Amino acid sequence: MRFIWIEATTFDIGDVLTLDSIHSRHLRDVRRVKVGDYLKAHNMNSNQMANVIVQDISKQGVTISIESIEIIPTPRVQIDLVQGYPKASKFDDVLRMAIEAGVRRVTPVWTQYADVRQPGGAQKVDRWMRVAREAVEQSGNTQYTHTVDVMALSDFFRLTVPSETTLEVICHPMSASDGHFVSFLHHWRDTFNSTATTIRIFVGPEGGFSPSEVEEFQRRGAYLYSFGDTIVRSEHAGIYAIAGIKTLIDYKGYDV
């Protein structure tokens, strides 16, 4: 655990907070913190990171107080993943790996070729929140914001508007004519470094995106790329792409 991920409106110096049962149990029974120990707490609703001190430990919970606050700078480039909703609990793994890789947001979507049609529901969103919290605290990803329920890809199109600052990249096995994903990395490095502040990666289900969905992507000005002869499972394709982008950014010395 790199820090505690807390949902709060805002942090203020002197605030006294009693942690929820999950955090309290972990700190008390696993990490065995003591009164007077210092920890870090990240506000999941803002870019605040607080230095906190343990004030009390009991069966009712662990109480902390905020000693100081620092503001986490916003990265110059953010990465979002829009993932075709997979079967069973595979989305848990996608969510966990994507957060550990450093994304800001993961949105599960139904597509025309998806095998799964039932809604996620409140219980699944609660489970995804637990998965997200564990991944955030383990990896130290301070950029991840929130977890949402599954929506139709058509609704996602309706709710988001392409812009010069958002670069949409489609991982599509049938797009070999559009080039290998490596060519996107070169293209972005040479062309979009000065303008793109968000890279939005789309990954379809096992059957890929339908022709009509591909046409809609093209109308939005998105770029379609494949991984060449490498056939990557849907739940791994996003991580493959994120790793390539992150590696290039880190190599070039950009602040992510």
Residue among 39, 51, 46, 40 nearest 14 (CA): 51
On whether the CB atoms of residues 117 and 110 are closer than 8 A, the answer is yes
Place of tokens 């942090």: 11
Residue 224: partners with Cβ closer than 8 Å, 6 or more residues away = 170, 172, 175, 178, 214, 217, 218
Rounded mean pLDDT of the chain?
86
pLDDT tens-digit profile of 159-200? 998 888 898 989 887 655 556 666 667 666 665 556 788 999
- The whole-angstrom separation of Cα 158 and Cα 254 is 32
Are residues 96 and 54 both part of a single domain? no
| 168 and 113, same domain (yes or no) | yes
**Per-residue confidence (pLDDT) for residue 13, from 0 to 100:** 97
Question: Could you tell me if 67 and 189 lie in one domain?
Answer: no
**One domain for residues 60 and 83:** no
Residue range 120-148, pLDDT digits in tens:
677 888 899 899 999 999 898 988 877 88
pTM score of the predicted model: 0.86
Same domain for 201 and 119: yes
- Among 71, 104, 126, the domain-final residue is 71
DSSP alpha helix (H) spans, the chain: 21-25, 90-101, 121-139, 153-159, 181-187, 211-219, 234-252
Q: Last residue of some domain: 71, 97, 123?
A: 71
CA separation for the pair 43, 146 (Å, rounded): 12
CATH number at residue 25: 2.40.240.20
Type of residue found at 114: A
Whole-number pLDDT of residue 186: 67
pLDDT at 177: 52
Write out the two tokens for 45: 């609703």
Please enumerate in sequence order all residues whose Cβ is within 8 A of that of 237, keeping only pairs 6 or more positions apart, or say none: 171, 203, 227
Residues 27, 62 contacting (CB under 8 angstroms): yes
Please identify every stretch of the chain with a pLDDT value under 50, giving residue numbers as ranges: 255-256
Same domain, residue pair 99 and 206: yes
Residue 256, pLDDT score:
42
Report pLDDT for 252. Answer: 61
> Looking at the structure, do residues 54 and 104 belong to the same domain, yes or no?
no
Q: Based on the domain organization, do 136 and 225 belong to the same domain?
A: yes
Between CA 36 and CA 52 the distance in angstroms is 9
Same domain, 139 and 237: yes
* 171: β partners: 203, 225
Instruction: Please tell me the total count of domains within the chain.
Output: 2
Beta-bridged to residue 69, according to DSSP, are: 50
User: Which structural domain, as residue segments, surrounds residue 53?
Assistant: 4-71
What local confidence, expressed as pLDDT, does residue 75 receive? 84
The pLDDT of residue 61 is 94
Residue that terminates a domain, selected from 55, 71, 87: 71
Please check whether residues 52 and 91 belong to one and the same domain.
Answer: no
